[in-house]
């Protein structure tokens, strides 16, 4: 297990855990269920490194309190946002990165002694889990209520979505016409036998997709669909979305399901990447959309400053950075998308409240296991 701690523009005065407690923390992390549902190391960085700021870098406004973030987001993606906030406000940010499971285990082990103020992570299922474990405190914010639609926020205020990621269908345009595509359920049709690629069911993104299908289609019909997916697989499931997309490009399969921002990052490196995007379920439930988001840690020393940062992350300025740098869709309506995201065309989103993904997560995991989806 590894951790990365990055200090941005300040000299840290936060508490340092004793070695014995830290060892216990890592032991807890190893047995934490959410750890199995987080991104791979390539997607959500977890290298061990401590970067200490010099006194010359301690340029925060007088009296400004540091906000310490426990984050499962890729540092390279989230740091430009946090640096912008520090530049605009003078508030220092301390960023500690790891997978969601270990971070939640760490919060539990630290209890009232935690230095953390914010949990920043991916997927509504993870945010819901954190709130159920009592790791987040409820907050009230008219700014968040204005900027973030209710379906992307916890009704009790424990967490809020800050960016959107669409999980949809991708295909080989040399072998498949967009006219042949329609819904997630249609990928269970025998016409796709030996042509489908999927990411493993162990990842929370697929658990949330199946949870949404349970809500829309019922458990029996969803199990039929998942069994059909398994029957149609061209090869073993993949550990990450990028590898799955590359398998389509290589001709290993013809269709698959992935988060759109992975596709955007591949296109940024290779504009001629030979894979097309198709917005699923247009005319039925709409394309499955999930969130990355944050909550104020229950034992935060700086809840007011943390809430102010969350509010800023929902602003037009920050939402535009999410779209251009992270290839994620803005959670705030009316914010311009990046040129790349706009080029994919408009689409109808699933109107489901994303909290449902957490509520049905255990049911989804059990269903996929029963259906043989590894």
- Shared domain for 200 and 220, answered yes or no, is yes
For residue 7, pLDDT beyond 70: no
Residue 334 structure tokens? 């009316």
- Looking at residue 24, its pLDDT comes to 39
- Shared domain for 237 and 152, answered yes or no, is no
pLDDT band at 37 (very low <50, low <70, confident <90, very high): very low
Across the chain, how many H-helices and E-strands are there? 14, 12
At 336 the three-state DSSP class reads coil
Based on its alpha-carbon atoms, the radius of gyration of the chain, rounded to whole angstroms, reads 21
Percent of the chain with pLDDT over 70: 83
- Looking at residue 357, its pLDDT comes to 97
> Per the domain annotation, does 351 fall within a domain?
no
- Shared domain for 177 and 241, answered yes or no, is yes
Residue pair 240/42 in contact (Cβ under 8 Å)? The answer is yes
> Per the domain annotation, does 342 fall within a domain?
no
- Shared domain for 43 and 106, answered yes or no, is yes
DSSP string for residues in 159-216 = -EEEEEEEEEEEE-TTT--GGG---TGGGGSGGGTTTEE-B-TTSHHHHHHHHHHHHH
pLDDT band at 323 (very low <50, low <70, confident <90, very high): confident
> Per the domain annotation, does 13 fall within a domain?
yes
For 109-159, how does the pLDDT look when each residue is reduced to its tens digit (9 = 90+)? 999 999 999 999 999 999 999 999 999 999 999 999 999 999 999 999 999
- Looking at residue 322, its pLDDT comes to 86
- Shared domain for 128 and 206, answered yes or no, is no
Distance CA 153, CA 13 (A): 32
- Shared domain for 322 and 233, answered yes or no, is no
Residue 174 CB neighbours (<10 A): 10
DSSP string for residues in 69-131 = EEE-S-HHHHHHHHHHHHHHH---EEEEE--HHHHHHHHHHHGGG----EEEEE-HHHHHHHH
Domain count, the chain: 2
pLDDT band at 64 (very low <50, low <70, confident <90, very high): low
Distance CA 333, CA 294 (A): 18
- Shared domain for 138 and 46, answered yes or no, is yes
What average pLDDT does range 194-200 have in this prediction?
98
- Give me the torsion for CA of 282, 269, 241, 355, rounded to 10°: -60
For 90-112, how does the pLDDT look when each residue is reduced to its tens digit (9 = 90+)? 999 999 999 999 999 999 999 99
> Per the domain annotation, does 343 fall within a domain?
no
pLDDT band at 60 (very low <50, low <70, confident <90, very high): very low
For 305-317, how does the pLDDT look when each residue is reduced to its tens digit (9 = 90+)? 999 999 999 999 9
Average pLDDT, the chain: 87
- Shared domain for 160 and 172, answered yes or no, is no
| DSSP H or E stretch at residue 269 | helix 260-269
> Per the domain annotation, does 349 fall within a domain?
no
> Per the domain annotation, does 350 fall within a domain?
no
Distance CA 72, CA 53 (A): 22
- Shared domain for 209 and 300, answered yes or no, is no
- Looking at residue 62, its pLDDT comes to 36
- Shared domain for 37 and 154, answered yes or no, is yes
For residue 324, pLDDT beyond 90: no
For 68-97, how does the pLDDT look when each residue is reduced to its tens digit (9 = 90+)? 999 999 888 899 899 999 999 999 999 999
User: Residue 246 belongs to what domain range?
Assistant: 165-288+358-370
pTM of the model: 0.83
From residue 320, alpha-carbon distances to 28, 123, 294, 333, 361 in Å are: 37, 20, 18, 11, 31
| DSSP H or E stretch at residue 24 | helix 19-30
- Shared domain for 143 and 280, answered yes or no, is no
The larger pLDDT score, comparing residue 344 to residue 44, is at 344
What average pLDDT does range 316-332 have in this prediction?
91
CATH number of the structural domain spanning residue 234: 3.40.190.10
- Shared domain for 234 and 171, answered yes or no, is yes
């Amino acid at each position: 297990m590894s951790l990365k701690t990055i200090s941005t523009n300040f000299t840290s005065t936060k508490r340092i855990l004793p070695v014995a407690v830290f060892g216990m923390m890592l032991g807890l992390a190893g047995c934490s269920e959410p750890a199995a549902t987080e991104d791979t190391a390539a997607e959500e960085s977890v290298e061990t490194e401590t970067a200490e700021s010099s006194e010359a870098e301690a340029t925060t406004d007088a009296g400004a309190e540091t906000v310490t973030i426990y984050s499962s987001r890729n540092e390279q993606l989230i740091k430009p946002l946090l640096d912008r906030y520090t530049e605009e406000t003078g508030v220092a940010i301390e960023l500690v990165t790891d997978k969601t499971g270990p971070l939640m285990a760490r919060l539990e082990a630290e209890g009232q002694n935690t230095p953390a103020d914010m949990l920043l992570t991916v997927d509504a299922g993870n945010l819901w889990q954190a709130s159920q474990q009592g790791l987040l405190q409820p907050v009230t914010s008219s700014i968040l209520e204005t900027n973030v639609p209710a379906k992307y926020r916890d009704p009790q205020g424990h967490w809020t979505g800050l960016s959107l990621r669409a999980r949809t269908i991708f295909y080989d345009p040399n072998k498949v016409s967009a006219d042949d595509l329609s819904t997630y359920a249609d990928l269970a049709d025998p016409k796709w036998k030996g042509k489908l690629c999927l990411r493993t069911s162990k990842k929370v993104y697929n658990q949330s997709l199946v949870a949404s299908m349970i809500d829309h289609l019922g458990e029996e019909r969803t199990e039929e669909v998942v069994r059909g997916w398994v029957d149609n697989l061209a090869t073993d499931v993949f550990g990450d979305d990028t590898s799955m997309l590359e398998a389509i490009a290589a001709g290993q399969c013809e269709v698959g399901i992935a988060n759109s921002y992975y596709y955007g990052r591949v296109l940024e490196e290779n504009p001629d990447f030979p894979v097309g995007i198709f917005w699923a379920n247009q005319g039925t439930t709409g394309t499955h959309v999930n969130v990355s988001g944050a909550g104020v840690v229950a034992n935060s020393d700086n809840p007011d400053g943390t809430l102010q940062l969350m509010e800023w992350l929902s602003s037009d300025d920050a939402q535009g950075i999410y779209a251009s740098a992270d290839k994620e869709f803005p959670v705030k309506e009316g914010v311009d998308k990046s040129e790349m995201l706009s080029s994919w065309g408009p689409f109808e989103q699933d109107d489901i409240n994303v909290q449902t993904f957490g509520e049905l997560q255990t049911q989804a995991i059990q269903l996929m296991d029963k259906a043989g989806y590894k």
